Amino acid sequence: MASGEGRVCVVTGGCGFLGSHLVRMLLERSADLSEIRVFDLHLDESLETLGSDKVRVRLIRGDISSLEDVRGALRGSHLVIHTASLVDVWGRVPAAKVTEVNVTGTENVLRACEEEGVRFLVYTSSMEVVGPNLYGDPFYRGNEDTEYRVCHNQAYPLSKAKAEKLVLEANGKKVRGGQTLYTCSLRPTGIYGEGHGLMKDFYYQSLRTGGRVFRAIAESVEHGRVYVGNVAWMHVLAARALQDRPDTLGGQVYFCYDSSPYKSYQDFNMEFLSSCGFRMVGSRPLVPYFLLYLLALLNALLQWVLHPVCVYAPLLNPYTLAVASTTFTVQTDKAERHFGYKPLYSWEECKRRTIDWVTTLDKEGKKH
């Protein structure tokens, strides 16, 4: 990053899946920082022990939807990497809460940057600000400029799209002290790797079926996936370049990508689960799509009926079925052209690291 003494970076959501990987990456790859502030509602105390005499890791408990909390965390910092987000497309939490965290939280970060004189902001967006859409239109090897019909009905993609728009519109605005705020946005495709909650859910679901994964989606459907370590590395490089070349990166969006193969979600997960003896059942979908869609509709109806008494949030609903059934792959070199990004980890290394983690789940699962 840009040279200077006493530089402070704030990572919002720093105890989350991506955030914790990012904190470790910053410690390894950003020698000029004096302090990394990890701002989160639920703190992982182990991160604090990673600090050194040169770089302090400071944990700050706070709510992203509280302007006062955010302002306190950002005071005296020069860079914010805003990863804090509430990911929910299953109805586990109310839509209003998703919007509060993702939109109001981002508004708070931007206002705190203005009031505290913070000059640089890297935002963690999502491919879902674009798609897949509910029409099932494929996004095949698309890039940041590819035209695509965007259509969402879930709070998560809608809120991420609104938050990203706010971040990009804030680029070039004046902050306290007469300085200029520079912002950019990174859009990961489906992130995977050690600690991924959805991968863990998929593992335990498959464990309950005796290690059999019943094919539900055609093998021809392809999704872009990206390893969490490479996403963290891209954030570090983008933060560094945003400070050095703000006129190039300011106001820009970048898809996160690496050399992970394009496969359906099920087939991609089997790259790791097969190491635990799991196997895919069926070379073609075992249930016709229209039956899956009816089941998804039934789940949505049950969710609505049961809402007053309990939270019913199955993995399958009309939105998740549309996403899983629609090809969405990215092919771009914009990040490489603008700030020299190349994946830090090869596919082979990403696969090995993820398998090592899944193996720990396997040992734990067999104990129970």
Catalytic (active-site) positions = 156
Of 340, 174, 238, 213, the closest CA to residue 25 belongs to 238
φ, ψ for residue 157, nearest 5 deg:
-65, -35
Question: Do the beta carbons of residue 355 and residue 195 sit within 8 Å?
Answer: no
Lookup: tokens for 130: 């674009």
Cα 23 to its chain centre, rounded Å, is 14
Helix and strand numbers (H, E) in the chain are 13, 13
24: left (phi > 0), else alpha (psi -120 to 50), else beta?
alpha
Give exposure, 120-154, as e/b (b: 16+ Cβ within 10 Å). bbbbbbbbbbbbbbbeebbbeebeeeeeeebebeb
Query: DSSP string of 62-87?
Result: --TT-HHHHHHHHTT-SEEEE-----
C-alpha–C-alpha distance, residues 154 and 90, integer Å: 9
SS3 96: helix
Range 279-282, long-range pairs (CB < 8 A, 24+ positions): 279/211, 279/212, 279/213, 280/213, 280/215, 281/212, 281/213, 281/214, 281/215, 282/214, 282/215
Angle, alpha carbons 108-112-37 (nearest 5°):
100
Question: Do the beta carbons of residue 330 and residue 142 sit within 8 Å?
Answer: yes
Neighbouring-strand partners of residue 213? 280
Of 179, 131, 134, 135, the closest CA to residue 157 belongs to 131
